[in-house]
Amino acid sequence: MVPSLTFGTLRFIVVSLAIFAQIYLFVRLRTAIRSTERPERFKRLAVCLAGAGIGLLFAMNVFILIRPIPWFDAPAPVQALLFYLPAVWGFGSILSALLLAFSQAAWGLGLAVARLFKRAAHRPWGEPADPGRRLFLQAGAGAIAAAPLILSGYGAAWAARTHEVRELALPFGLPLRVVQLTDHHAGPYMTREDLRRYADAVIALDPELFVLTGDYVSNSLAFLPGCLEEMARVRARYGTFATLGNHEHWVANPDRLRAVFRQYGVPLLNNAHRVIRTAKGPFAVAGIDDMRFGKDDLDAALRGLDPAIPTILLSHRPEIFPEAAGRGIALTLAGHYHGGQIKLRLPGGDLSLAHLRTPWPEGLFRIDGSHLYVSRGIGTTFTPVRLGARPEITVFHLT
């Protein structure tokens, strides 16, 4: 089992790193500006502008994260300037600061070791300052600082907008083609146009059953109607079923949420199930509420259901899996972790904050005869950047 990193600990780490990054980068910029041979007045102005720019980008990013911004279909230049630029800076600045701090520490350690060797060899230490060498070092530091920002821009502009269709064949008890979408996070970084594109992609896959496993919005209920209207365009033979995620509970109470789902004709399985009859036999779809911010109740979801009927359980979070497997549920579908969203692929395994928080961050898992699949989802949260974890539409060919 992977050690669990709590949400509170994770938030403290990220906030601390973000604040450290702004201060550290400003100090490095100020030092670089003051080391130039420009007039003193120019240097003072440049330092003030650098500090104001860093402060403004950071403040804009914080504002976007904590305040609902129900701005529908903002023009592309406005979206890039007001939403994506601060968000890319927010994530990229953390990586830039960490890389610069690491390289500075490594350089200082290298110099200290070199001094020790010089002293041991009784050779004098020190040499005249070389302007060319100083410029080379400044250019290297600039490249180190810029690389994460470029990578973040790529992760927001391209990697987060190109999805993968992943297909899996699993035993179930009867033939069924199921498509799962999860973690839409409709908002400034998942527009109505983006949602329409995903709905069209699902329609082209011709699912017999279409399931949605939570987090339809980012931080405003205003985006939920548009999201559900697009998802309702998918006409699967045996219907569409949904369950709630944590973000829905953050923006509205359960009664309001149920009303919106009813209005757009998307059945919400909140600690409930539905039995569906087919020519090959019956199957059931059950759903539970979010396991942290809702009131999940697996007993209520399965009450009255014949255990012999093959069942698909919808849960926003995958942590229900051991209990679901113990109840003989054939397939549990979940999301929540975005596959890490920003993930390093290392020889010893994948590394992300999600991989530190749960043993089920993404992919297929099995306990006895039960399977769990955790989708990477299609949206993003906290930052629009995805690296190493492409958006995913999942198709299950059940037999």
Mean pLDDT of 278-291: 97
For the sheet with 240-242, list strands across it.
Answer: 164-170, 392-398, 176-181, 209-212, 240-242
pTM: 0.88
- Residue 130 sits at the vertex; the CA angle it makes with 124 and 131, to the nearest 5 degrees, is 160
CB 210 within 8 A of CB 240: yes
pLDDT attached to residue 110: 81
What band does 123 get if pLDDT is binned at 50, 70 and 90? low
Q: Among 249, 211, 250, which Cα is nearest to 231's?
A: 211
The model's pLDDT over 363-385, given as tens digits with 9 standing for 90+, comes to 999 999 999 999 999 999 989 99
**Least confident stretch, 144-153, 254-263, 350-359:** 144-153
The model's pLDDT over 178-191, given as tens digits with 9 standing for 90+, comes to 999 999 999 989 99
pLDDT attached to residue 203: 98
- What's the Cα-to-Cα distance from 336 to each of 82, 123, 138, 206, 317, rounded to whole Å? 26, 60, 42, 25, 6
Question: Which domains does the chain carry?
Answer: 7-157 (no CATH), 166-398 (3.60.21.10)
Q: What is the mean pLDDT of the chain?
A: 90
pLDDT attached to residue 114: 76
What proportion of the chain, given as a percentage, has pLDDT over 70?
A: 93
What proportion of the chain, given as a percentage, has pLDDT over 90?
A: 70
Q: Give 277's strand partners.
A: 282
CB 267 within 8 A of CB 273: no
pLDDT attached to residue 1: 38
pLDDT attached to residue 326: 96
* HSE-up (13 A, CA, CB side) for residue 280: 10
Q: Which structure tokens are listed for 146?
A: 């810029």
CB 154 within 8 A of CB 146: no
- State the helix-helix crossing angle for 224-231 and 254-263, rounded to 10 degrees: 40
pLDDT attached to residue 322: 98
pLDDT attached to residue 132: 54
CB 377 within 8 A of CB 339: yes
In SS3 terms, the chain reads as: CCCCCCHHHHHHHHHHHHHHHHHHHHHHHHHHHHCCCCCHHHHHHHHHHHHHHHHHHHHHHHHHHHCCCCCCCCCHHHHHHHHHHHHHHHHHHHHHHHHHHHHHHHHHHHHHHHHHHHHHCCCCCCCCCCHHHHHHHHHHHHHHHHHHHHHHHHHHHCHHHCCEEEEEEECCCCCEEEEEECCCCEECCECHHHHHHHHHHHHHHCCCEEEECCCCECCCHHHHHHHHHHHCCCCCCCCEEECCCHHHHHHCCHHHHHHHHHHCCCCECCCEEEEEEECCEEEEEEECCCCCCCCCCHHHHHCCCCCCCCEEEECCCHHHHHHHHHCCCCEEEECCCHHHCECEEECCEEECHHHHHCCCCCEEEEECCEEEEECCCCCCCCCCCCECCCCEEEEEEEC
